[in-house]
Amino acid sequence: MENVQAVKQRFGIIGNDPKLNRAVEKAIQVAPTDISVLVTGESGVGKESIPKIIHSLSHRKHGKYIAVNCGAIPEGTIDSELVGHEKGAFTGATATRSGYFEVADGGTIFLDEVGELPLPTQVRLLRVLENGEFLKVGSSKAQKTDVRIVAATNVNMSDAIDKGKFREDLYYRLSTVEINLPPLRKRSEDIHLLFRKFASDFAQKYKMPTIRLEEDAISLLLQYRWGGNIRQLRNVAEQISVLEQNRSISYTTLKQYLPDVGSNLPAVINPKKEKSDFSSEREILYKVLFDMQRDVNDLKKLTLELMKTGNVADVKEEQSSLINKIYSEEKGNEEQLAAIVDEEEINPQDVEVLSISETAPEVKTGNYDFAEEIEEEENLSLQEKELELIKKSLEKYNGKRKDAAEELGISERTLYRKIKQYNL
């Protein structure tokens, strides 16, 4: 069995990070077997090197090695690419075609971006893994194949399984052994080493002196997050090698080739912040609901006094502060509640809101039965008036919610909630 350093040198893998060495070591250990392997890691970390190592060190090394980018093949043709098709199986199938499973019989197939496979194709792949059989598109005759499958993905497979985008049984069949490659930002000691290797390669390729980084530029190189990993680092090294006449690269020069330097530098994130924000918004929601409940109780109290005394003028004078308080606070509470409901993704239908007109109604004096007054106000159909006003405002501003909300004197979120409520 070859050692890790020899294999890295043979396949051009640069770096001494312990996690990288462990990934190469696992590839060497599983190579002589036929078990399936799943290579995981972010895009650009070099996952394609692992299946090459596995194939080259296995007993299948004299067989075919086929790399398939599952994300680059259209969903309608990927079945035909993998298993082949019979003549006349679909429009354009003018001849029988062999798929990758048939062509690579006795060899290795590398399925890159396997997380992008459509669900029907996942069923076909599962059958190959379980019993080595497949059916060509348009055929009812099962064929045997002896291929070793190595897959790779940058997708979080647990999330994909939870969302129903990837079969759980297929995941466990593929990941008999899982090899994870660390992102470049977690291999800080390898970053400058890789950059120097790329700079040397491009200097030879373009026949020009090798670029070198100054000390402050090296510090920036190590601090940058490298979202595109090794692929991005290689791209930056090539750009600088070609475009810069001065072969000594300063901090300022390097910064020009790194997009969004400020947002990509490491940042300390307080894990408690999100939780505290969530809790504070919940507290605001509860406060608004309690305030509205208190206002309802105040209204009940006011109604009882009117029913007992029958003297509207006296009650209006004694309780004027209470009336003003109720109607002045209602609009603010409603908008605040609507904003929280939208942000928290709570179904507005699950929160019962008391709808009160925005200004206090004119209370007429005179001796009459209070029950008749209530019945009269109910007939005014505030809902219909509100619906009519919203429709007119939306028509006036050609459906622009922001302008309509400003004219109605409510927030855009409140208007949006009303539109959903009335199915406009």
225 lies in the same domain as 308: no
Q: What is the pLDDT of residues 203-247, one digit of tens each?
A: 999 999 999 999 999 999 999 999 999 999 999 999 999 999 999
Check pLDDT > 70 for residue 275: no
Domain stop point among 328, 344, 367: 367
Share of the chain above pLDDT 90, in %: 55
Give the per-residue pLDDT at 293.
74
User: Rounded to whole angstroms, how far apart are CA atoms 197 and 8?
Assistant: 14
- Residue 253 counted as domain residue: yes
Winning range, highest mean pLDDT, from 74-78, 165-169, 280-284, 306-310: 165-169
Mean pLDDT in residue range 291-298: 74
CATH of the domain at 83: 3.40.50.300
Check pLDDT > 80 for residue 340: no
Contact between 257 and 236 (Cβ < 8 Å): yes
11 lies in the same domain as 89: yes
* Number of domains into which the chain is organized: 4
For β-strands 133-135 and 142-144, DSSP reports them as antiparallel
282 lies in the same domain as 356: yes
User: Rounded to whole angstroms, how far apart are CA atoms 159 and 153?
Assistant: 13
Which range among 49-53, 68-72, 326-330, 353-357 shows the weakest confidence by mean pLDDT? Answer: 353-357
Mean pLDDT in residue range 68-88: 90
Domain stop point among 264, 291, 326: 264
Mean pLDDT of the chain: 81
User: Rounded to whole angstroms, how far apart are CA atoms 84 and 136?
Assistant: 5
- Residue 196 counted as domain residue: yes
153 lies in the same domain as 214: no
- Residue 375 counted as domain residue: no
Provide the residue type at 193 as one letter.
Answer: L
Q: What is the pLDDT of residues 110-133, one digit of tens each?
A: 999 999 999 999 999 999 999 999
Check pLDDT > 50 for residue 349: no
Length of the chain in residues, anyone? Answer: 424
Check pLDDT > 80 for residue 338: no
Check pLDDT > 70 for residue 88: yes
Which range among 289-303, 377-391, 396-410 shows the weakest confidence by mean pLDDT? Answer: 377-391
10 lies in the same domain as 155: yes
149 lies in the same domain as 17: yes
243 lies in the same domain as 323: no
220 lies in the same domain as 355: no
Longest dimension (CA), the chain: 105
pLDDT classification of 276: cutoffs 50, 70, 90: very low
Q: Tokens for 151? A: 């897959």
Provide the residue type at 89 as one letter.
Answer: A
Q: Which domain holds residue 8?
A: 4-182
Compute the C-alpha angle 229/230/235, nearest 5°: 105
Q: What is the pLDDT of residues 246-269, one digit of tens each?
A: 999 999 999 999 987 655 555 444
Which carries the bigger pLDDT value, residue 348 or residue 251?
251
Domain stop point among 235, 264, 293: 264
Give the per-residue pLDDT at 364.
43
Q: Tokens for 90? A: 């679909």
Does the predicted TM-score (pTM) go above 0.75?
no
